[in-house]
Structure 1
Amino acid sequence: MKEYDIAIVGTGPSGAMAAFHAAKNGKKVILIEKEKLPRYKTCGGGLVHRGRIRLPFSIDAVIEKEFFELEVFFEKSPHSFKAKRDEPIISMVMRDSFDQFLVNKALEKGAQILAQTSMVGLTKEVDGLHIKTSGEDIKCQYLIGADGALSQTAKLGGWKESRKLIPALEYEVKVPEEDYNRLSKNVRFDVDAVPDGYAWCFPKNGHLSLGVCTLKKQKIDLKKYYKDYLKKIEINEILESEAHGFQIPVGQRKDAFSKGRIFLSGDAAGFADPLTAEGISNAILSGELAAKAIVENFENEKDANEAYQQLLDQHILTELGNSSIIAFICYAQPAIRNILLSKYGQKGCEILTDIFMGKKAFPDDLKNKIKSRVPLLKFI
């Protein structure tokens, strides 16, 4: 049985960056990935600037397109807003090449990988953890579950499902050149194109990533709203199309993010943004924070757990809480939202863009300010 300091399940941005930082700090690290790499990952592929600048190396080699302007539209409303920045607000990536690039950076620091290998069992022992895989068994001191919405680590580690999982449908689409040229100039979001949710148009190299999602857990025919969205953005002909359905965790776990020697990060922990459903930037950050907490407190698992919680409180959880308040207004209270948009819409768009850029966080007293203007929020 091979022994490692840290085992990491999942090779998405969270797992790869946890491995990078842990290996860089001298820990013996193994990545466990059930698929053959590189592998397609269902995702819009929009990396906001705050996630990009969090990476300690350039990713220019895997950037498909950069967008310095975004547009937000609201269905059945006169409101629409644009924001521009001198640096790319959103950079487009294909997750197969992007994730592989991050994994390679971790391997360069000394991490090892077991691909096409699934974790099938987990035993907590006095002196560490015993991981049973579809290949060889592994012993480790700490385990980071970065294995996404369907996290096997969480299931085997004793977590009950407490995240809010919302449905999404994403298409990689090739369209006639005229339509591509028309739609490839900007990133576009259409709020209310789906009940309690939005649609998006993300231009890539030679094709579009189009998608629809609802931020409310409900039974819904997303294919219908996708077809309606095609009409809205005036796409009448599709040359090629590949559909992918998936779930996005937009609510964090309620029963801790680490238990003993087992830590959860990224979607496994539920760190996607409740307002935008964007998850890559917090996946990158939470992977780094999990590695930091473990590396700096390696000899004391209790201290490592406490350190991880403190880091999450400081860097992720407060902002997600504020984002959930705005999401409630945006999707569940459209009448109130439209009143606020008429007064503060462009200012709000600029604040959110700054957050995407990593320039500022939500104001500390945002929740109280909003509640003073929207009495209904005193109940949440």
Structure 2
Amino acid sequence: MDDRIYDCIVVGAGPAGSSAAYHLAKQGRSVLVLEAASLPRYKPCSGAVSPSVAQYFDFDFAPAIDNQRRQVRYTYQLDDPIDAALETAEPIWMVRREVFDQFLVQQAQAQGAEVKDGTPVTGIALAGDRWQVSTPSGPFTASYLVAADGAQGPMAGWLGFPSLPLRIATLLEVTTADPVADTFPMSFEFGLVKQGCLWNFPKRQGYSIGAASFVGKSAVGKAADKATADYQTALDRYCQTIGVNPAQAQTYHHALKLWDGQHPLHRERAVLVGEAAAIVDPLSAEGIRPGMISGVKAAAAIHRALSGETGALADYTAEMQTSWGADMQWAKRISGLFFRVPGIGYRVGIKRPTATQRLGQILAGEVQYADIANRVMKRLGAGLIPGR
């Protein structure tokens, strides 16, 4: 039995959890990270990260970046292509999660955080001002708790947070014998996937090709089986256009926990971060950058709470709801309209010369959805009117 009392236990060693661990350890707090899988571990994810996340850290991310891309291609039902380039200060990072996540874990360790992988959490209990966290290796104790165990982890439920809907996504990981050309673009295909889209983020030597729906009821049971079958059909068709044999790809089905409204992100001496908190953009499915930011902000709140500041965790919920969640209300509205009429959305939205510029600005945090929502929804609404 480990009789130490940590300042904080972080459950989950993904980008959100490692970001929280890094910043807490950097403040001199004792941190234990518990990860169910053996590290380094693969995580189904397309692996596109906005370089704007670097502003929250004081180290160089270069060793964790597989390659960088600026070119973007859009298609509608594999036709009517649009080629453009992001106008951001830096290209978008393409990362492999087993490399990127491990790099972040190592940065947290370098600051003094302890990491125990292969250590699933089997239960939690709050006793006074301490959390007791049960694992097969024995219990661990901490003053505060960070739940960073992803979309399907049990921590949010154990902590009493409401159950949120999950969506199913399918991802093909393709490894190529030769390097992918530097000119190969990030690709977004609309129209093949019902109420959603297909995307391809090229790596240095391969592709991460995904498909998911973003609106309508979340699929469970037989409906989920049908959804994944439909995704596979769309992915097979797309793969033919880039000369990839889908039978030679590794196929993964994973859950997406998209933002679905404002919810508390804290309770007594505990917070949710990343996918566990549904910190995932409901329009683009971007989760790494906002998840890392939630980890940074959670660490700041816990550090203040450990210093005796009452209300610090409530401030974390309020800050995330104000700085991120309020804008996601607009993202969700745009998503609900766009993905229900993707043909119109493609014609009046994606094909506009400013579309890629706005995408880059949103990913970089330079522009919020609220800044463009009224114009976008007005155009989409006008597109529904015959003759417009």
TM-score normalised per structure 1:
0.89
Deviation at 1:295, TM superposition (A): 0.9
What is the deviation of 1:75?
Answer: 2.6
Cα distance change of structure 1 residues 267 and 86 upon mapping to structure 2, 3 Å threshold: closer
- Equivalent residue, structure 1, for 2:290: 282
Query: Hey, what does 1:352 align to over in structure 2?
Result: 359
Quick one: distance in 1 between partners of 2:185 and 2:341?
28
Q: Deviations over 1:170-227 (max 9, x none)?
A: 11113465xx656962111112221111111221122221221111323312222211
In the TM superposition, what is the alpha-carbon distance from 1:35 to its structure 2 partner?
1.0
* 1:93 maps to which of 92, 95, 118: 95
Matched pairs, number: 370
CA distance in 1, matches of 2:347, 2:205: 39
Q: In structure 1, give the amino acid aligned to 2:173.
A: E
SS of aligned partner of 1:19 = helix
Shift of 1:313: 2.5
Match status 1:67 vs 2:66: no
Structure 1 CA distance for aligned equivalents of residues 374 and 7 of structure 2: 44
Q: Check whether the contact 1:130–1:139 (CA below 8 A) recurs between aligned residues.
A: yes
Contact preservation (8 Å) 1:193, 1:199: yes
In structure 2, how many angstroms separate the alpha carbons of the residues matched to 1:32 and 1:116? 8
**Percent sequence identity over aligned pairs:** 25
In structure 2, the CA distance between the partners of 1:335 and 1:213, relative to structure 1 (3 Å rule), is closer
Task: Tell me the TM-score normalised to structure 2 length.
Answer: 0.87
C-alpha spacing 1:95/1:375, structure 2 compared with 1 (3 Å): closer
Following TM superposition, by how much is the alpha carbon of 1:24 offset from its aligned partner in structure 2, in angstroms? 0.8
Q: Offset of 1:305 from its aligned partner? A: 2.4
Instruction: Kindly indicate whether the alpha-carbon contact (under 8 Å) linking 1:33 and 1:115 is maintained by their aligned counterparts in 2.
Output: yes
Q: Does 1:202 align with 2:182?
A: no
Question: Residue 167 of structure 2 contacts residue 257 of structure 2 at CA under 8 Å; is this kept in 1?
Answer: yes
Q: Gaps (5+ residues) in structure 2?
A: 383-388
1:1-380 map, 5 Å: 1-75=3-77, 78=80, 80-85=82-87, 87-162=89-164, 164-175=165-176, 177=178, 181=180, 185-216=184-215, 217-218=218-219, 219=223, 220=227, 221=229, 222-231=231-240, 233-235=241-243, 237=245, 240-252=248-260, 255-298=263-306, 303-334=311-342, 336-338=344-346, 340-341=348-349, 345-364=352-371, 366-369=372-375
CA deviation after TM superposition for structure 1 residue 327, in Å = 1.1
1:253-286 superposed Cα distances (whole Å, 9 cap, x missing partner): 6541111111000000001111111110011100
What SS is found at the alignment partner of 1:296? helix
Q: CA deviation at 1:300?
A: 5.3
In 1: Cα distance, 2:349 partner to 2:281 partner? 20
Q: Which SS does the other structure have where 2:352 is aligned? A: helix
Distance in 1 of aligned mates of 2:333 and 2:53: 22
Judging changes above 3 Å, is the alpha-carbon distance between structure 1 residues 324 and 88 closer, same or farther for their aligned structure 2 residues?
A: same
Amino acid at match of 1:348: A
Alpha-carbon separation, structure 2, partners of 1:124 and 1:60: 40
Instruction: State the AA in 2 paired with 1:349.
Output: T
Which whole-Å CA distance do the structure 2 matches of 1:32 and 1:111 have between them?
11
Q: Which amino acid aligns with 2:363?
A: F
Is the alpha carbon distance of 1:359 and 1:228 closer, same or farther for their aligned partners in structure 2, counting shifts above 3 Å? Answer: same
The 8 Å contact of residues 169 and 211 in structure 2, kept in 1 or not, is answered as yes
Cα deviation for residue 92 of structure 1 reads 1.1
CA, structure 1 residues 198+117, in 2 after alignment: closer, same or farther (shift >3 Å)?
Answer: same
The 2-side partners of 1:44 and 1:259 are apart by 32
Q: For residues 156 and 280 of structure 1, what CA distance do their matches in structure 2 show?
A: 24
Q: Quote the Cα distance in structure 2 between the aligned partners of 1:354 and 1:211.
A: 23
Deviation at 1:375, TM superposition (A): 6.4
User: Which piece of structure 1 moves more, 141-150 or 82-91?
Assistant: 82-91
Quote the offset at 1:71 in angstroms.
2.0
1:240 to partner: Cα distance: 3.7
Q: Secondary structure of the residue that 2:131 maps to in structure 1?
A: strand
- Aligned-pair CA distance for 1:37: 0.7
**Structural RMSD (CA):** 2.5
- Stretches of structure 1 that go unaligned for 5 or more consecutive residues are none
- Counterpart-to-counterpart distance in 1, 2:194 and 2:268: 40
Q: Aligned to 1:360, what secondary structure does the other structure show? A: coil
Q: Which amino acid aligns with 2:137?
A: G
Q: Which deviates the most, 142-151 or 78-87?
A: 78-87
Alignment check: 8 A CA contact 2:265 2:273 kept: yes
Say if 1:89 and 1:356, in contact at 8 Å, map to a contact too.
no
Paired amino acid for 1:43: C
